Amino acid sequence: MAKLTLIRGLPGSGKTTMALAMVEVDHMLEHLEADQYFVDASGNYKFEPSEVEDAHQWCQNLAEFHISRGTSVVVANTLTRKWEMAPYLKIAKEHGAELEILEAKGNYESIHGVPKETIERMRSRWEEV
């Protein structure tokens, strides 16, 4: 049975680090993040605010692709609100995948340079699950 793990947390909380540690243990695990959408073929990250919705749809589509084929997936995105997690919960349910939700709670500097004001806005709208 495939497993879908969601790692949620604010920018700089250690989501990617947690996901990479999981992949290190299970090399068959697919690691997905909306941020990967913004990485070009040379490995450079270039964030485009106008494409955030596309990035999240891309991440959801890939998660469903892998889960539907029986491959376990770890998704590391901010997922601050319940509605942002809903598409993943639906994917797990529709494909009979086990679901796990983890929270990254570290306090590191954002590797993508997310401004502190933006992080504070995200913190203020955080919903517990």
Contact 13, 80 (CB under 8 A): no
Domain that holds residue 31: 3-124
Show Cβ contacts of residue 91 under 8 Å, excluding neighbours closer than 6 positions.
4, 60, 63, 64, 67, 97
> What is the per-residue pLDDT for 115?
87
- Identify the band that residue 126 occupies on the pLDDT scale cut at 50, 70 and 90: very high
CA 85 to the chain's CA centroid:
9
pLDDT, tens digit, for every residue of 41-94? 999 999 999 999 999 999 999 999 999 999 999 999 999 999 999 999 999 999
Does the pLDDT of residue 3 top 80, yes or no? yes
CATH for 119: 3.40.50.300
Contact 1, 18 (CB under 8 A): no
Q: Is residue 129 part of a domain?
A: no
Does the pLDDT of residue 97 top 90, yes or no? yes
> Considering its fold, how many domains does the chain have in total?
1
The model's pTM? 0.92
Q: Is residue 93 part of a domain?
A: yes
Q: Is residue 65 part of a domain?
A: yes
